Amino acid sequence: MCGIAGLMYRKSSQDFKTGEALIRMLDGCQHRGPDSTGFALYSPEPSGRLKLRFFIDSMVEPTVESSIATIRKRLIELGASIEDESHAWDNYNVTIHYDGDVQKLSYGLEQTAKVISIGTSLEIVKDVGSAYDVDDRYHVNKFHGTHGLGHVRLATESDVKPEAAHPFWATGFADVAIVHNGQITNYWKMRRRLEQRGFVFTTDNDSELIAVYLADKLANGAQLQDALSTSIDDLDGTFSFLVSTEDEIGYAKDRLAAKPMIMYEDDDLVAIASEEVSLNRLFPGRALNTHEPAPGTYATWSRSI
């Protein structure tokens, strides 16, 4: 059992307290996943700049410095110029100028470091512990942006460690992230098909598979709503998932609808979560007009530009 959450502010401003809102939403459903918590946060960068986040070992100080130096060296070898960088806990964050292919950059880095996310807008922050634990380490509450996703995880098939936490980004594709509650039963069949076409996976997690599957559809010209529609037919299992791109969020539910999802929508905001308590955390004391998406459905929303 896990909990998912997502929201989008529909106005064009980037000054919404997205991090603070997602913390409240995830705290509301933390009972669904006490082991780890993560956030996919969106705030656009100027053209030509990419934001990258890496996991590093912060337990031994020389290891931190050598890991960062190795990443810097590899980025330069791949044709990137470093414009800004910072280090907090187990994360090394760097903003680069890069004109090349993001997939080549991503695959070129995988042998050097554990990449958390790459994007012009996207930053993924995730770690073990609760929403407030992760906020204490990485100051998620200070993040202002346009939209984002969140996830609380109960470990069932893998270790409790930061790398196993959600969200997952679509490895090799900028700005696509996923949070997922459920299990994809044809995971290996779908993965082998994508690997035969040259795609690389860095985990055995079915959420990464969904992200790459959708990102591949988008890269080949599909609209997000069309990619979500085909996912309901192509993916076997029980699932409710949220996906985000640079300008959109969307959801899909399998036809059995065993995994819960509830949503609220008004002129300014779209918010979706596993349980209504997460939505109530956004509007304390208000009676919300919420509804549960029907089985086998999907939808997308985009922000005003």
Residues marked as catalytic: 2
Write phi, then psi, for 152 (nearest 5 degrees).
-120, 135
**Cβ contact 22:273 at 8 Å:** no
**Cβ contact 182:254 at 8 Å:** yes
Burial class (CB in 10 A: 0-12, 13-18, 19+), 111: exposed
What span, in angstroms and rounded, lies between the C-alpha atoms of 89 and 260?
A: 34
Burial class (CB in 10 A: 0-12, 13-18, 19+), 229: middle
**Cβ contact 266:293 at 8 Å:** no
CA distances to 84, 104, 115, 242 from 128, in Å:
26, 30, 17, 21
Region at 129 (left for phi over 0; alpha for psi -120 to 50; beta for the rest): left
What span, in angstroms and rounded, lies between the C-alpha atoms of 9 and 20?
A: 13
The per-residue DSSP string of 128-155 comes to: ES-HHHHHHHH-GGG--BSEEEEEEE--
Q: What DSSP character marks residue 75?
A: H
The per-residue DSSP string of 222-281 comes to: --HHHHHHHHHHH--EEEEEEEE-SSEEEEEE-SS--S--EEEE-SSEEEEESSHHHHHT
Dig out the tokens for 267 from the structure. Answer: 């002129």
